[in-house]
Structure 1
Amino acid sequence: MRLTPDAWIFWQGGVFKLNATIVFTWALMALLVVGAVLITRRLATGHERSRWQNLLEIVVMAMVGQIKDVGLKHPRRYLGFLGTLFLFVAAAALGTVIPGFEPPTASLSTTVALALCVWVAVPVFGIYGQGLAGYLKSYLQPTPIMLPFNLISEASRTLALAVRLFGNMMSGAMIIAILLSITPFFFPIVMTVLGLLTGMVQAYIFTILAAVYIAAATRSGTAAKKPSSAAAA
């Protein structure tokens, strides 16, 4: 029994390894790219639209609504990044119904990479939203003494994102594998359905947390200016 797709080696040459995590990650990204191209190549603006376009619009509008509810003022600015995160994690969870497929999110290396994407995106969007000086000033709030604690918070929440997603995705795959070896076939099917639900929930939570971190980075400068403007009045 494999604890992680990293242990499934397709090819190895010296120190270089081609494991299931890499293969399934690139296969999943290729599937998402091809699917996006096929769905968006014939978009219509009239009343008659394809089922795939209707599905696409429902998904996009739902994402925009969720991003807006988090508190980001221009949700479409963050749709590309946050939407891609959600679709990748959700597709990895849905892929568990395919025989032989192991979700790359069950590997700590994948979840760390996703968390690092969020870690990089937070300051990028923060600097874009309030400027370099305004974003760096947020690390000194409410007092300069909080600088080391704010830096530790940045690192710890990145680690928490990675470990949370990895633990939940790997545990679901492990439970299904154990049940397949010791129980009849019907019960693992039920657990697979529950695993799909858990995977979708994890995709939602991961994306929402990323949106919350970005909202905090882009909003801190504005929040800091409100008391001064009120005092001036």
Structure 2
Amino acid sequence: MEKFEPIFSFKIGSIPIDIGRDIIVQWVIILILGIISYLLTRNLKKIPDKKQSALELFYTTVADLVEGNMGESFRNFIPYVGSLMIFLLTMNFTGLVGVAPPTKNLSVTVALAISSFLVVNGTAIKRNGFGHYLKGYAEPFIPMLPLNIMERVVLPVSLALRLFGNMLAATILVELVYEALGHFGVIFKVGAPIIVHGYFDMFDGGIQMIVFTMLTIINIKLISEH
């Protein structure tokens, strides 16, 4: 693993904050996605053109995913789920343009996992009230309290480590392939890496996006109904 070298640092009180390359890449992705979203969603028409038809197809796909796994009462999560899918997919695909995926950084995946943890538990509190939410930890009987607490804590840990581990392993393997191909000459770096990037960036990155998203939406429903 490469040594972490912050691009710049600052302090909040006595706490040092180091900003590295992966965080910068993540911010750039957020900015680019924000601009693209604005450009694609302005001037929407009743009779859609090709651009709007593609957007509506994506919205319908996300809506079917949410309603099929969570139910119609969770339709308000369509924007969140859609944004999570696009954001994760974009970060996982940066290897296609020669930039290491930010999701190979544990701090990035931990932040994403904490976000999902807050959404999952915040939804449960909003739907059931704080008292009933706390009571759920003692269901079906009080001795289950430690196990129920552990179950809630394991979710963000599992989300963060699974995404981090898979993307880091994929990045290392791609680097090893490039290093190996370098011994055979430049010509081997032209065609062979397409297969490598196709699997480790597109296929594996897509699978990790699906796993992270599905675990998030399933836990939103299950814990809010617990």
| Common topology (TM > 0.5) | yes
TM bracket, shorter-chain basis? 0.7 to 0.9
Alpha-carbon distance in structure 2 between the residues aligned to 1:83 and 1:129: 22
CA offset at residue 153 of structure 1?
Answer: 0.9
Higher relative contact order (CA 8 A, sep 6+): 1
TM-score by length of 2: 0.87
Q: Deviations over 1:60-86 (max 9, x none)?
A: 111111112213332421122222221
Alpha-carbon distance in structure 2 between the residues aligned to 1:110 and 1:170: 12
- Structure 1 partner of 2:27: 26
Kept in 1: contact 2:123–2:224 (CA 8 A): yes
Q: Does 1:87 align with 2:86?
A: yes
- Structure 1 partner of 2:197: 192
Q: Percent of pairs identical after alignment?
A: 24
Moved over 6 A (4+): none
CA offset at residue 206 of structure 1?
Answer: 0.3
- Structure 1 partner of 2:209: 203
Secondary structure of the residue aligned to 1:7 is: coil
- Structure 2 partner of 1:55: 54
Secondary structure of the residue aligned to 1:194 is: helix
CA RMSD in angstroms, aligned pairs only = 1.9
Letter aligned with residue 77 of structure 2: Y
- Counterpart of 1:10 (choices 7, 11, 17) is 7
- Structure 2 partner of 1:212: 218
Q: Output aligned runs, 1:1-233, within 5 Å.
A: 3=1, 7=4, 9-11=6-8, 16-46=17-47, 49-99=48-98, 101-183=99-181, 184-185=188-189, 186-195=191-200, 196-220=202-226
Secondary structure of the residue aligned to 1:102 is: coil
Q: What number of residue pairs does the alignment pair up?
A: 214
Q: Which 5+ residue runs of structure 2 have no aligned equivalent?
A: 182-187
CA offset at residue 104 of structure 1?
Answer: 0.9
Letter aligned with residue 38 of structure 1: L
TM-score by length of 1: 0.85
